[in-house]
Amino acid sequence: MGKFRFHWLLFPFLRLSSSYRRCPLSNRSLIIASVCVIYLLLVVSQIGYSKQHRDMRTDKDKYRLTRGLYTLDISDAQSDNVDFQTGANSVVPTRSNVVYITLKTKRLKPANIRGTLRPKLRKKVKRITEANSAFTQNKRGTLLRDAGQIQRNFPHKNFLEETKDVHYKVLDIIPTHHTDSQAGSHISSIRIYSLRAPPWLSPQDVKAMRFLADANILRIKEVIHGNYTSLLIFEGEISVSLDNQRDTQGNNVCGGQCGVISSPVDTTEVFAFHLDRVLGLNRTLPAVSRRFSFLNDGLPGPVLLWDASLYPEGLAAGRATVRMTWGEYQSSLKQKCWHKNISPKPDSDCSTVHHYEWSKLALFDFLLQIHNRLDKSCCGFRPRQEDVCVELGLDAECGNQKHIQLTNIIHRGHDPRHLVFTDNKGFFDRNEDNLDFRLLEGIKELPESAVSVLQSKRLREKLLQSLFLDETYWESQGGRQGIDKLIDVIERRAKVLLTYINAHGIKVITMNV
């Protein structure tokens, strides 16, 4: 169309062609030059117009394409969220108006981990009751100064007190009450983006995790009872009641809902909780990672749900513990105590624990390499000089293994048949050529629910989804990259365990007890 306009504009000049031939040479050159200039200007303007039109069309296409990709990303994320919701009873999301990002990303190469946290080298010192305190003298001083400041602000209250029956110190902390506007802006560190949590976490687990991570702290108590390691317990403010919180012996340890604060170096407690739930064992106490500005220099540390049923005779008597030697334990495995609800003979070496519980404990401890229950003397692997068993000289007992006492075998007072896995101090820096196979000695059956997860190759996916819920723990381990390194260790040990099962003919059976 533009070319026709050019010829039409040049038509008057063509009409003058007859007179053009009669013009002198100088005038003729001038006319030619003028026509060429006018034609050149028209061509340049037309080219500029066409280029501008093409740019506008390109921008519109880019806008449509970008808009389409954005819509696709949101729809894909929402479809992943639907996959994440499969399973259990519905829960209230802790995050709103947020698009859930799937964790199913392809890793370029497997991570190689040599270790996470190694025990610090410590000089051998004489341990006394006061040394078992969860507070260092510096932390005691900090709390005392804080208590003094609160005491000056509120002189009518006694915030720091001691009792006679059970020795503990109490520090009351004035809770921060959220107004309606503030409550809406509060973001929980438990990240649940959908109406359903992962199916391996029960509604009670989710409730406990939210309490441990988000509850306002009313007071903190350091409890010292006999020769046991002291406990650092906080009492939280929450409107929903949790089970197994009250001490029936009148020790006044926990007046409402409470949690136990552990050291920041015991980070495997949180990982152990999620691994236990993913494997379907359900033997650990709920645990999350949380920061306290007045403790451990604000470093995140594990917080476990307080369970008073572990102390049926009161805090002074300690937890309900099964006492037996390694020899008695091996004998009980052969007798299959309480299997098919058959009561053992009075002269047997059976304890109150059901036979299947030892299989679940052995599998769990092997994956995390927890040796403080079945192998406190480190007889099944090569310990380091800084390990507790070497520092205390317990490795010398390996010459007479039958008489070595099992430790930390805990059950609830009202349920002596089932174990509770506590003090889950695992080791991620132990190589495959130095694993503690003594933990599996005498085990002839393993739970089908746990082994099936290891065989399905979905262990990583489930652990990522589960650990992602605890934002504080996730970030404290270095995000996705750090979590992947921990899971790499568990996956390698799972392969070793599956090989061990096949080589030793261990039966994989259903253990619904």
Distance between CA atoms of 315 and 224, rounded to whole angstroms?
9
Lowest mean pLDDT among 175-179, 349-353, 392-396, 494-498: 175-179
Question: How high does pLDDT run on average in the chain?
Answer: 76
Distance between CA atoms of 17 and 293, rounded to whole angstroms?
97
Instruction: Give yes or no for residue 383 having a pLDDT over 80.
Output: yes
Burial 408-445 (b: 16+ CB within 10 A, else e): bbbbbeeebbbbbbbbbbbbbebeeeebbebbbbbbeb
Lowest mean pLDDT among 129-143, 276-290, 422-436: 129-143
More confident site: 242 or 130: 242
Distance between CA atoms of 45 and 384, rounded to whole angstroms?
83
pLDDT at position 452 is: 97
More confident site: 389 or 189: 389
pLDDT at position 97 is: 43
323-342 mean pLDDT? 94
SS3 state at 167: strand
155-180 mean pLDDT? 44
pLDDT at position 94 is: 58
Instruction: Give yes or no for residue 27 having a pLDDT over 70.
Output: yes
Tell me the pairing of strands 507-509 and 257-261. Answer: unpaired
CB 262 within 8 A of CB 302: yes
Give φ, ψ of 287 to 5 degrees.
Answer: -145, 140
Distance between CA atoms of 493 and 472, rounded to whole angstroms?
26
> Residue 331: how many CB atoms within 10 A of its CB?
17
- CA of residue 43 relative to chain centroid, distance: 69
pLDDT at position 129 is: 39
For residue 171, the cross-strand partners are 220
pLDDT at position 241 is: 52
- CA of residue 96 relative to chain centroid, distance: 21
Nearest to 470 by CA among 217, 197, 254: 197
496-510 mean pLDDT? 97
Share of residues in the chain with pLDDT > 70 (%): 64
CB 420 within 8 A of CB 283: yes
Instruction: Give yes or no for residue 464 having a pLDDT over 90.
Output: yes
The long-range contacts involving 141-147, CB below 8 angstroms and separated by at least 24 positions, are 142/294, 143/169, 143/171, 143/220, 143/294, 146/171, 146/294, 147/171
Helices marked H in 154-229 — which ranges?
180-185, 203-214
More confident site: 422 or 94: 422
